[in-house]
A and B are shown apart, each in its own frame.
Chain A
């Protein structure tokens, strides 16, 4: 996005988010997930807060936190910006990665979209590589049910080896499972938490990790982190190196580590393995693992589950009908807003102006000086009355209508239709919604 870090408020996070615990033993829980999977809804339901949620990605830009409790244990929930990956590069993703990997939350809840679990597992796997204290929350179960997708979450739990909770946060279902999951996750001892790594890289990378591990283990905080750091160092992502330097200075600057890394790279170079291939192989491992994990877990009861959806999409975005329908819908909304608002507007202004006349009468009768009557009633009150009667009804009509469109899922289609126009002004289609 074309916004600077400062304007997005991320700077404050960079300088260290201050975690506000109510009690000393409150646990810090990071709430991560892909964009647009209902993370903020889960956050709001858990904490009883009212952060704005919306049907487009990138709602949560900076970390927000809230406090909640399951009765005994207090948790500080930190809502992390949505991201597809920890290895990437947008500011949101950096914020997410730095918090999860380097700020040591007590556990991470990864929120997933039940309607496309496979894609979401990429992030789950990446987070699980960095920490074992993970609870997977498969959200939008209601949506999946509507689309006739059945998910065997018990199987997923078995395969991943971490607690899995199926939720429908919008209707407040299954959120208690998150608490039980967290409890199980936090109570497990060091040894119980030790499982074989889910992600197995190609042999040449595994060999390199094995060589690098002893050097890293001396300086890293835990076993998982050591393995994760090895893999990331071999990936040689500049951006990540910067973060490692910032948060784990010893790791980045030990003589042993740097010489070992240089050695490995030298050998790879000799063997004709390019840096690009290494990072390709690393990315592919996660995607393929996610595919494997989903086999047998996700079942489409009805192969044509999205036929209706697609028919609608065709109507809303085809060359012939996409634009006319869009204009009609927007025009319709504005028309309803403007004409529909006239009636309540008139009503409100009538009532308010009657009240004004009555106030003036009252002021006259009680002998208030004319200048004050003029100032307060004919001045302040009248302006206020006008503003309220003109502005309130359109807003009261427009925003519910807009929310309706959002629920219906029309807004992403508008963004899709208009992206080209916005690209010309170096923006992107999502910004159409703001206008």
Chain B
């Protein structure tokens, strides 16, 4: 029931577990420093009105990632069942962009 997708593919309310980072060097470290390491559960909280960036709940902090960065994070979603359960339940979005 599990498939490999990337963080950018998550819909709001969906939860997934980080499987692999496909970012390198500085960006890789940066993502790791905010808690994106293998095994971390993240929840997508919603997209910005223009579709990018997207807000994620990562280890208790709300963090916005641009799709070029979140697209480099491969996750394992637990299939449709879980997604449906969370979908539409509630939604969050707030954060400042990670980019500096």
**B-contacting residues of A (Cβ < 8 Å)?**
1, 36, 56-58, 84-85, 87-90, 92, 116-119, 122, 276, 279-280, 283-284, 287-288, 291, 298, 306-307, 309-311, 313-314, 316-319, 322-323, 409, 412-413, 415-417, 419-421, 423, 428-430
Contact = CB atoms under 8 A, between A and B. Distances in A.
A317 B55 CA distance: 10
B87 to A, nearest CB: 14
Contact of B64 (A291, A306, A307, A416): A416
Say whether chain A's binding surface is mostly helix, strand, loop, or mixed: helix
Contacts of B53: 416, 419-420, 429
Interface of B: 21, 24, 26, 28-30, 32-35, 37-38, 40, 45-53, 55, 58-61, 64, 66, 90-97, 99-100
B92 to A, nearest CB: 4
The 9 closest A-B pairs by CB, nearest first: A283-B32, A420-B50, A85-B33, A310-B92, A322-B49, A317-B93, A116-B61, A89-B26, A119-B61
A202 to B, nearest CB: 13
A417 B33 contact: no
A428 B97 contact: yes
Contacts of B24: 276
A433 to B, nearest CB: 10
Nearest to A86: B33
A81 to B, nearest CB: 11
Contacts, number: 143
A313 B92 contact: yes
B38 A412 contact: no
Contacts of B60: 116-119, 298
A89 B32 CA distance: 13
A284 B39 CA distance: 10
A392 B92 CA distance: 39
Contact of A284 (B30, B38, B48, B51): B38
B28 to A, nearest CB: 8
Contacts of A298: 60
Nearest to B29: A88
Central interface residue in A58, A116, A288, A298, by most chain B CB within 10 Å? A116
Nearest to B92: A310
Contact of B91 (A85, A118, A310, A417): A310
Contacts of B90: 307, 310-311, 314
A284 to B, nearest CB: 5
B91 A84 contact: no
Nearest to A415: B96
B100 A423 contact: no
A172 B90 CA distance: 36
Contact of B46 (A118, A279, A280, A317): A317
Contacts of A314: 46, 90-93
23 contacts: A85-B30, A88-B26, A89-B29, A89-B30, A90-B100, A92-B100, A116-B60, A118-B35, A118-B60, A118-B61, A279-B29, A284-B38, A291-B59, A306-B92, A314-B91, A317-B93, A318-B46, A319-B47, A412-B94, A413-B94, A419-B50, A428-B99, A430-B97
Given A280-B28, A318-B49, 15 more contacts: A57-B96, A84-B30, A85-B33, A88-B30, A116-B61, A280-B37, A283-B32, A283-B33, A287-B40, A288-B37, A317-B55, A317-B94, A419-B48, A419-B53, A428-B97
